[in-house]
């Protein structure tokens, strides 16, 4: 894959008006549709730059007026996180070696940036970083009912706006129900781990292809863009890649 240097991104170590149309992978079969831009996004629901990057991409799609089919893929920022999680402020300071002041400045920047994109970050002192393996299993399951994108967006909201524990089975089932999925079946999916091996294999595929930070946006399965690049940059990339597509 061709690569573009990253901007805002999370690493495992140290709503828009417009003519553009976003389709998720389950909305339609895009095979053979040359005018639809294929976009794969590798991300984690506890990475703030992932929702920032998506909101920027969403606005860029609206600005350029293209039709885009989006497919979400799993990535765990903290695959070894303990079940109870860790205080977010302490986690960031420990993981990235930042000071309390630097950590707060980063949250302030994200809050301001999110607001400019229509996303409400509400960071609190008791917010916790958690493992998201179960969340990714539920997202995979949701894809079978064309709810993958809706659940992904709802999980971003649950974590960053409402401070919910997106490692908790009960919280995950509640969020699934909020987007029209069956709560009891969601709990069953989490309990029996029927999609665990599939999610692990997909995570391994992307890390094996050199992705160690998110968001990672892959256009047409060829052009990798790492990080939240900004609306202007995403729009320029989309314009360049769609020059040869059918009108």
> pLDDT tens digit string along 24-65?
554 444 444 568 999 999 999 999 999 999 999 999 999 999
Beta strands 216-219; 223-226: pairing state: antiparallel
According to DSSP, the residues that pair with 42 across neighbouring strands are: 73, 216
Dist. CA 145–CA 47, nearest whole Å: 25
Q: What is the pTM of this model?
A: 0.89
Residue with tokens 């769609």: 242
Dist. CA 32–CA 36, nearest whole Å: 9
pLDDT tens figures, 65-98: 999 999 999 999 999 999 999 999 999 999 989 9
Better-scored residue on pLDDT, 239 or 9: 239
Q: How many CB atoms are located within 10 Å of the residue 190 CB?
A: 22
H or E stretch including 156? helix 148-160
Q: What is the mean pLDDT of the chain?
A: 90
CB 77 within 8 A of CB 10: yes
- Percentage, residues of the chain above pLDDT 90: 83
Q: Reduced to 3 states, what is the DSSP secondary structure of residue 196? A: helix
Nearest to 219 by CA among 195, 187, 245: 245
pLDDT tens figures, 135-193: 999 999 999 999 999 999 999 999 999 999 999 999 999 999 999 999 999 999 999 99
Question: Superfamily for 2-241?
Answer: Glutaredoxin (3.40.30.10)
- What are the residue boundaries of the structural domains of the chain, listed by start? 2-241
Q: Reduced to 3 states, what is the DSSP secondary structure of residue 117? A: helix
User: What is residue 10's predicted lDDT score, i.e. its pLDDT?
Assistant: 83
User: What is residue 35's predicted lDDT score, i.e. its pLDDT?
Assistant: 84
Dist. CA 100–CA 78, nearest whole Å: 21
DSSP code for 77: S
């Amino acid at each position: 894959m061709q690569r573009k240097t990253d901007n805002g991104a999370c690493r495992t170590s140290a709503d828009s008006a417009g003519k553009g149309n976003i389709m998720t992978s389950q909305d339609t079969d895009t095979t053979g549709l040359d005018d639809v831009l294929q976009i794969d996004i590798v991300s984690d629901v506890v990475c703030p730059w992932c929702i920032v990057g998506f909101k920027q991409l969403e606005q860029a799609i609206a600005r350029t007026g293209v039709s885009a089919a989006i497919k979400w893929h799993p990535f765990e920022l903290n695959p070894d996180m303990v079940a109870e999680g860790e205080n977010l402020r302490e986690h960031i300071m420990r993981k990235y070696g930042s000071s309390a002041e630097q950590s707060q400045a980063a949250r302030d920047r994200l809050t301001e940036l999110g607001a400019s994109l229509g996303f409400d970050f509400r960071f609190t002192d008791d917010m916790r970083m958690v493992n998201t393996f179960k969340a990714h299993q539920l997202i995979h399951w949701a894809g079978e009912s064309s709810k993958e994108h809706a659940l992904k967006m709802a999980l971003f909201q649950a974590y960053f706006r409402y401070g919910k524990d997106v490692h908790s089975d009960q919280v995950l089932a509640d969020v699934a129900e909020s987007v029209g999925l069956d709560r009891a079946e969601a709990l069953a999916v989490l309990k029996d781990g029927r999609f665990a091996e599939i999610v692990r294999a997909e995570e391994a595929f992307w890390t094996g292809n050199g992705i160690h930070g998110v968001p990672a946006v892959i256009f047409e399965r060829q052009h990798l863009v790492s990080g939240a690049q900004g609306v202007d940059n995403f729009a320029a990339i989309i314009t360049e890649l769609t020059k040869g597509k059918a009108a």
